Amino acid sequence: MNTADPVASSKVPALTNGSGAAAILSAGIGSFALAVLAMAADKSAAITSLLVLYKPTGALSGVTTAAILIWLLTWGVLEGRWRRKTVALGRISFVAFALLGLSFLLTFPPIAGLF
Partner 1 sequence: MEITVRSLWTMIHGMGFGALYLLACSGALVELYRLTFSSAPSESTPGQERFLKVYLITMAVLAWAAVLTGAYVIYPWYRATPPPGTADLSMFPQHLLMSSSTTIGWHSLGMEWKEHVAWFAPISITTVAFVFIRYGRDLINHKQLRATVLGFAVASFLAAGIAGFFGAMIDKSAPVQGGPTIQLSIGAKK
Residues found near partner 1 in the complex (CB under 8 A)? 5-9, 11-15, 17, 19-21, 23-24, 26-27, 30-31, 34-35, 38, 54, 56-58, 60-61, 63-64, 67-68, 71, 89-90, 93, 96-97, 100, 103-104, 107-110
Distance CA 62, CA 38 (A): 9
For residue 80, the minimal CB distance to partner 1 (Å) is 14
Distance CA 54, CA 100 (A): 26
For residue 37, the minimal CB distance to partner 1 (Å) is 9
Q: At what angle do helices 59-82 and 18-43 cross, to 10 degrees?
A: 160
CA dihedral 59, 64, 67, 71 (to 10 degrees): -170
Nearer to partner 1 among residue 5 and residue 45 (C-beta): 5
